[in-house]
Amino acid sequence: MTRPQGPAEPIPLTVLTGFLGAGKTSLLNRLIHDPALAETAVIINEFGEIGLDHLLVKPVREGVVLLQSGCLCCTLRGDLVEALEQLLRDLDNGRAVFRRIILETTGLADPAPVLQTAMVHPYLVQRFRLDGVITVVDAANGAATLDQHMESVKQVAVADRIVLTKTDLLGATERQQAVKELQARLGALNPAAPILDAAAGEATARNLIGCGLFDPEHKIPDVKRWLAAEAYAARAPHGSHEHNTHDRNRHDERIRAFTLTSDVPIPAASFEMFIDLLRSLHGPKLLRLKGIVKIAEEPERPLVIHGVQHVLHPPVRLERWPDDDQRTRVVLITRDLREGEVSPLFDAFLNRSAPDQPDRAALLDNPLIPFGGRDR
């Protein structure tokens, strides 16, 4: 049998996260029974911990089992890279069949290292593409968790989809009000991510999967949906929502989201220097970065960028603009980093500095400004 020629299409990878007790296990159990997710590989921490034992059919190899739904499930006992590479070997050698991967993180996990793993590994970056981040939030305890744990705030801030669980357990009027306030708080933290009610049946595979750059049905880029720049532009001014009046030291105050735009094509060298400078100065504060860029050298072929903290995924060059909006738009979700600390840098590299802001030459001549490689 002749093997198909050419590189295999990248496998979509979905990261499922959420704080301890949020309901990731229940959601995962429902998802793997959805026919739309047949032939999905699921990476979890331990079989016994998440209650999938009654679904097991047969072992494929140590630590890997085949579920009744046709999904492949494996435990994450060591390095994530090793687990992903072994799944790829099973796929390439015909020992397993799957079309996508769902990776469940631990409840205390910062999702950034997981996202970075698939972005920087020279082999994995060719075989996988990030489809999206799903964050599960417990309606009963979500507000308290956000108050007490910065990890949960970051999980919400970087999400592409937010799933609200256990709303059916809250029947009293005052508790319903609490859910409404929690939804408003989640929307303020992440205005671009749809909030889906699991109890109302909204957390389906159709609503959760396929939220990456490429439309899963037509295999074409859907930049407007993926970037969701309008949602950030329409966001209320930071500090205006009612929750901030209760506690000005809450974790929410540390999260910001904003968009940098330009109608003018940007020279490739200038944009690369801006990104390098941004990562060098503020890398740990960049929770997530997404954008479409009009490069001066090829203005008809936009560049799509995606980064997590200081790690940038290899840019994707589109063959054409996906719609009539041909502006550069870069969305940044940050922690402890204000728009006023970033937009002057962007303006300087576009040579549109205000009189009291440094120009690009001054930035480049400053010996204290580090420029470095992509892994800095």
Q: Where are the alpha helices (DSSP H) in the chain?
A: 24-31, 47-50, 80-92, 111-120, 124-127, 142-148, 150-157, 173-189, 205-208, 223-227, 229-233, 268-282, 339-349, 360-365
**Residue 97 identity (one-letter amino acid):** V
In a domain, 233, yes or no: no
Q: What is the pLDDT of residues 301-310, one digit of tens each?
A: 999 999 998 8
In a domain, 249, yes or no: yes
Q: 56 with 65: CB under 8 angstroms?
A: yes
User: Looking at the structure, do residues 196 and 79 belong to the same domain, yes or no?
Assistant: yes
Q: What is the pLDDT of residue 36?
A: 86
How far is the C-alpha of 123 from the C-alpha of 108, rounded, in Å? 28
In a domain, 239, yes or no: no
Residue 1's CB is within 10 A of a number of other CB atoms, namely 2
User: Looking at the structure, do residues 147 and 295 belong to the same domain, yes or no?
Assistant: no
Q: What is the pLDDT of residue 61?
A: 59
Helix (H) or strand (E) holding 59: strand 56-61
In a domain, 236, yes or no: no
Q: What is the pLDDT of residue 57?
A: 45
Q: CATH number, domain at 271?
A: 3.30.1220.10
Q: What is the pLDDT of residues 138-180, one digit of tens each?
A: 998 899 999 999 999 999 999 999 999 998 887 766 567 888 8
pLDDT higher for 49 or 345?
A: 345
In a domain, 238, yes or no: no
Q: Identify any residues that bridge with 289 across adjacent strands, giving them in sequence order.
A: 307, 332
pLDDT higher for 78 or 71?
A: 71
> Would you call 8 exposed, middle or buried from its count of C-beta atoms within 10 A (0-12, 13-18, 19+)?
exposed
Domain range for residue 320? Answer: 244-365
Q: What is the pLDDT of residues 106-141, one digit of tens each?
A: 777 788 888 888 888 889 989 998 899 999 999 988
User: Looking at the structure, do residues 184 and 48 belong to the same domain, yes or no?
Assistant: yes
pLDDT higher for 244 or 16?
A: 16
Domain boundary among 161, 196, 212: 212
For residue 1, pLDDT beyond 80: no
Q: What is the pLDDT of residues 188-217, one digit of tens each?
A: 999 999 999 999 999 999 999 988 887 666
Task: Report CA 108 to chain centroid distance, whole Å.
Answer: 17
- Reading phi first (left if > 0) and then psi (alpha if -120 to 50, else beta), residue 309 is in left
Q: What is the pLDDT of residues 323-370, one digit of tens each?
A: 899 999 999 999 999 999 999 999 998 886 554 555 555 555 554 444
User: Looking at the structure, do residues 188 and 250 belong to the same domain, yes or no?
Assistant: no
Number of domains in the chain: 2
How far is the C-alpha of 88 from the C-alpha of 8, rounded, in Å? 11
How far is the C-alpha of 282 from the C-alpha of 280, rounded, in Å? 6
For residue 46, pLDDT beyond 90: no
Q: What is the pLDDT of residues 218-243, one digit of tens each?
A: 667 888 888 888 888 766 444 434 44
User: Looking at the structure, do residues 251 and 321 belong to the same domain, yes or no?
Assistant: yes
User: Looking at the structure, do residues 208 and 317 belong to the same domain, yes or no?
Assistant: no
In a domain, 229, yes or no: no
Domain boundary among 165, 193, 212: 212
Q: CATH number, domain at 21?
A: 3.40.50.300
User: Looking at the structure, do residues 107 and 190 belong to the same domain, yes or no?
Assistant: yes
Domain boundary among 189, 212, 235: 212
**In this prediction, what percent of the chain has a pLDDT beyond 90?**
43
User: Looking at the structure, do residues 64 and 190 belong to the same domain, yes or no?
Assistant: yes
Per-residue pLDDT band for 45 (boundaries 50, 70, 90) equals low
In a domain, 224, yes or no: no
